[in-house]
Amino acid sequence: MTDRRSFIRKSIGVGVTLPFLSPSIAGAESIFSTSKAEGPLIMCSRGTGWGERVLAPAQEIMKNGGALLDAIEKAANVTELDPDDMSVGYGGLPDEDGVVTLDASFMDGKTHNCGSVAAIERIKTPSSVARLVMERTDHIYLVGEGAFRFARAHGFPEENLLTDRARKVWLRWKENSSDKDDWLPPEDGDYGLEKRPTGTINILGFDANGDLAGCTTTSGLFGKIKGRIGDSPIIGAGLYVDNEVGAAGATGRGEEVIRMCGSFYVVANMRAGMSPQQACEAACKKIIDINGGAANVNFNDKFVALSKSGEVGCAQIMGNDKRLPHLSYWAPEKGFQVASGSYLIET
């Protein structure tokens, strides 16, 4: 284990260049690193305004010597329970039928166990259910009605997830999405949103022993076909943790992340010697390449990563809002910090 850590550090130190990377990507530095590799360290894929709020319960748990999995779960629950976050949990934007369906995954590096729920309805905290799939079943994926029944068996209340705000956004979208159906928009015809919104949250961390874990949770793509699941619940796509190396998570257009096993790709590149920042940028570049170049990419994907040695990285193809940083983290020695990733495509 020590060898692996020092291997990664040494590789970064000598600026290792992998042959399939462009010079600019290979030369990228990690956004920041902790002064020492010992944890705990918890990060999330949200920046200013969100990060502090999301990480607050995790900080509290870790400061009091609590378990990493509890810290990550409680951090994920913050966005899931917030009706104002329209991309995760309660208040999330619905599918094309106006039904909120949620995806989430959990992975524990120490045991290399994982659990996921996909297309689950009427349960506000899918990350907690995903953790229970990991810990209390011999399965990895539960979907739809089966996931719901499993949650109910564990005492989760059945609740309405569609807020009035989300319903109105959906209704405007429905009324404006075709001129061949019988839905008519109101006179102002306003779509209500500038573009089809996206969003998800990744929480990654390691504890004082250096054991890693992670969680990804989302309401998925707004207006999706009923039954669609994205990358978030797919182990290796929306989330991957390797206790010897690091952890990674993805947000954005899930179909692209699934077809290049995004989070696994990031961690595999870290195992090969890249810093988390280099690995996140390499994943963005891979998606651009798969699509035949930047000219064909009009969507966003974002990766965040954490190495076992305490480095953090974040990159996205195009920013939803370039003014905002897109990653925050907390570690006892450095406190709360925010950083933005780099963009491969300038829009």
Binding site for ligand ASP (CB under 6 A): 198-200, 218, 220-221, 230-232, 251-254
Say how far apart CA 250 and CA 261 lie, in whole Å: 10
Contact between residue 215 and residue 127 where contact means Cβ atoms under 8 Å apart: yes
30 versus 251: smaller Cβ distance to ligand ASP:
251
Contact between residue 303 and residue 295 where contact means Cβ atoms under 8 Å apart: no
Contact between residue 137 and residue 248 where contact means Cβ atoms under 8 Å apart: no
Say how far apart CA 331 and CA 106 lie, in whole Å: 21
Alpha helices in the chain (DSSP H): 2-13, 23-26, 51-63, 68-81, 126-136, 144-153, 164-176, 254-258, 262-271, 276-290
Tokens of residue 274, six digits: 């890249």
Write down the least CB distance from residue 197 to ligand ASP, Å. 8
Write down the least CB distance from residue 326 to ligand ASP, Å. 12
85 versus 207: smaller Cβ distance to ligand ASP:
85
Say how far apart CA 147 and CA 125 lie, in whole Å: 12
200 has catalytic annotation = yes
Write down the least CB distance from residue 148 to ligand ASP, Å. 18
Contact between residue 229 and residue 206 where contact means Cβ atoms under 8 Å apart: no
124 versus 308: smaller Cβ distance to ligand ASP:
124
59 versus 200: smaller Cβ distance to ligand ASP:
200
Q: Which of 79, 125, 198, 200 is catalytic?
A: 200
Element (H, E) at 120: strand 113-120
Write down the least CB distance from residue 319 to ligand ASP, Å. 13
Q: Of 15, 99, 32, nearest to 310 (Cα)?
A: 32
Q: Which residue has the tokens 């539960």?
A: 142
Write down the least CB distance from residue 198 to ligand ASP, Å. 3
Say how far apart CA 238 and CA 220 lie, in whole Å: 11
Question: Cβ atoms within 10 A of the Cβ of 254, count?
Answer: 27
206 versus 222: smaller Cβ distance to ligand ASP:
222
Catalytic positions, written as ranges = 200
